[in-house]
Amino acid sequence: MTELLFALFIFTLAAFVGFEVITKVPPTLHTPLMSGSNAISGITIIGSLLITGRVESPLLTVLGVAAVTCAMINVVGGFLVTDRMLRMFRPQQREGRDGRAH
Amino acid sequence: MDVLINLSYLLASAMFIIALKRLQSPRTARSGNALGAVGMLLGIIVTLLHRDVVRYEWILLGIVLGSLIGAVMALWVRMTAMPQMVALLNGFGGAASALVAIAEMERLALHHGIAAAPGVLVGTILSSVVIGAVTFTGSVIAFGKLQELISGRPLILPFHHGWNALQAAAIVVLSVLIVLQQQTWSESLLLQLFGVVTAISALLGILLVLPIGGADMPVVISFLNSLSGLAAASTGFVLHNYLLIIAGTLVGASGFILTNIMCVAMNRSLLNVLFGGFGAEVASGVATDRVVRSTTAEDAAVILGYARSVVIVPGYGMAVAQAQHAVKKLATLLQQRGVDVKFAIHPVAGRMPGHMNVLLAEADVPYDLLYEMERINPEFEHTDVALVVGANDVVNPAARKDPTSPLYGMPILDVDRARTVIVLKRSMNPGFAGVENELFYQPNTYMLFGDARQSLEAISEALKSV
């Protein structure tokens, strides 16, 4: 029970940090925010690794491998696609091709 | 070793927070994302050193398989298909959490028996499998809708909401029963009931998303994003792993904030989106026998070419037509003529938050030419031409003027206040909300029918001889 309480403390504090940090993300980055945070939610990989790494039963191995695969798709796919998007974001070049002023 | 592992988890948690913090600016975002990936790698590596991990061949199989599939998806997906991609990734996150929860339940039965396990643990496993399964199947349906494998129109069964309520109630009642009777009921019965809860959750995910129409997808994807984070956090509660709780909760908060922003931008509550079946009823309001003024690419080029200021308003139609590069080309031609060109982005334009921004970034439009709704709306009055590219509901003035319209109260881009409005549209079909658009019948509005990309290319071509 104390462990659950402690976990709830962490959960609550993390929620506040999350709100504080994420509200300041500009709308232009909302898609990369989603895919990037999505990759972070692939952290379930840790639970999947612990199950797959033990020798307990064939069923657990199957569940574990499936979980590792899903989590890894989430992690690798998420971080890579976010990077692909963020590479494309660039500001206006001040002395750009057309030398236009605002 | 345990201390080392836990310190590394602490470090990884900090890295995730800094990674998200760096997403606050496009300049630092890319390095932030890389930092997040490093944090994840650290978490994975130290977990492999855990004393419970005694064999690696199956782990390796999963890691290689998952990495390959993930990399192929990420590198080949088109930018216009990003909403589907994110929906699918949400789903995999949910699936991983559900699988871990199922495995943990199986382990309880295998080792000391479910009866010996603390009720809190069984309860957290149950909530973990429920959130994970709903996220998984809900995301798969969202993916199917966005990929147009299933109809984007709302699909509503008879007594749909009644069924959903019944399922939700069944999940709660069965879960409570399992926890209360865990010492009295037989192991196999408990496991069977656990299976039933899992199955109902999976069905609930499907039925929750099926009735939701395409235009509401930004809300649904954000909501599923939030759930995928909470699924990871709930796995953290099961495993007493604080890294999972922190990382999952950060994502949960992020998805929650985005859900909220999307709801505000549509002037609807989350409950209304999830249970409203918006767009299922046939278009209400004004009669349709009025005429619109249609124009040609040549005339549009003249109007645009002699304007001083042009605001381009992209919508989902731009994504469908893959027209982002054609938009950029036209914008550059106009700028070379000395026209002041800006882009106006509505929060729910497209199928996910920030969809338009990514497409325009892909076409090399600098992000500081993109204006949010609040910043651009006061400028429309002084704008010569508003060029609407495949947007509909987000520019419908009925949202401001007509209290009987289903869109009434939704914040819109005030393009109708521009001196001239040019609308690129495939046909006169109403938008996803199924609502007539007053804008098209305004005396200062010109409609240019056809595929958005072809229309834009024709305008650019004609502009050269203006």
B351 & B248 share domain: no
Cβ within 8 Å, pair B372-A27: yes
- In the predicted model, is pLDDT for residue B31 greater than 60? yes
Q: Write out pLDDT tens, residues B371-420.
A: 999 999 999 999 999 999 999 889 999 999 888 888 888 999 999 999 99
Q: What is the mean pLDDT of residues B347-357?
A: 92
Cβ within 8 Å, pair A49-B240: no
User: Which residue, B216, B315, B228, B232, is CA-closest to B270?
Assistant: B216
B449 & B316 share domain: yes
The shortest C-alpha distance from B115 to chain A (Å) reads 17
B368 & B391 share domain: yes
Structural domain contains residue B45: yes
Q: What is the mean pLDDT of residues B249-262?
A: 95
Q: Write out pLDDT tens, residues B270-282.
A: 888 887 655 444 4
From the list B393, B414, B416, B451, the catalytic residue is: B393
Q: How far apart are alpha carbons B159 and B42 in whole angstroms?
A: 49
ipTM of the complex: 0.92
B315 & B361 share domain: yes
What pLDDT was estimated at residue B372? 94
B350 & B333 share domain: yes
- In the predicted model, is pLDDT for residue B433 greater than 70? no
B103 & B231 share domain: yes
Q: Write out pLDDT tens, residues A61-88.
A: 999 999 999 999 999 999 999 999 999 9
- In the predicted model, is pLDDT for residue A100 greater than 60? no
Q: Write out pLDDT tens, residues B104-125.
A: 999 999 988 888 888 899 999 9
Strand pairing partners for B309? B340
Closest-CA residue of B relative to A24 is B24
End-of-domain residue from the set B28, B59, B76: B76
* Pair A43, B231: CB distance under 8 Å: no
* Pair B419, B309: CB distance under 8 Å: no
Domain residue limits at B87? 79-276
Cβ within 8 Å, pair B244-A47: yes
In this predicted model, which residue has the larger pLDDT, A91 or B175? B175
Structural domain contains residue B281: no
Number of domains in chain B: 3
B208 & B334 share domain: no
B92 & B49 share domain: no
- Beta strand extents in B29-78 (DSSP E only): none
- In the predicted model, is pLDDT for residue B48 greater than 80? yes
Tell me the percentage of chain B whose pLDDT exceeds 70.
96
Q: Write out pLDDT tens, residues B175-201.
A: 999 999 988 899 899 999 999 999 999
Q: How far apart are alpha carbons A1 and B90 in whole angstroms?
A: 31
pTM of this structure: 0.91
* Pair B370, B345: CB distance under 8 Å: yes
Structural domain contains residue B3: yes
Q: Write out pLDDT tens, residues A13-44.
A: 999 999 999 999 999 999 999 999 999 999 99
B221 & B315 share domain: no
Q: Which residues of B touch A22 (CB under 8 A)?
A: 20, 250, 253-254, 257
Which sign does the torsion angle of CA B205, B210, B214, B216 carry? negative
Structural domain contains residue B285: no
End-of-domain residue from the set B245, B276, B307: B276
- In the predicted model, is pLDDT for residue A97 greater than 50? no
Task: Give the model's confidence band at B35: pLDDT under 50 very low, under 70 low, under 90 confident, else very high.
Answer: very high
B324 & B268 share domain: no
**Cα within 13 Å of Cα(B405), Cβ side:** 21
B221 & B255 share domain: yes
Closest-CA residue of B relative to A89 is B361
What pLDDT was estimated at residue B159? 78
Q: How far apart are alpha carbons A19 and A33 in whole angstroms?
A: 13
End-of-domain residue from the set B44, B76, B108: B76
Q: Write out pLDDT tens, residues B285-298.
A: 444 567 788 999 99
Q: Per-residue b/e over B411-431, b at no fewer than 16 CB within 10 Å?
A: bbbbbbbbbbbbbbbeeeebb
B20 & B90 share domain: no
Structural domain contains residue B291: no
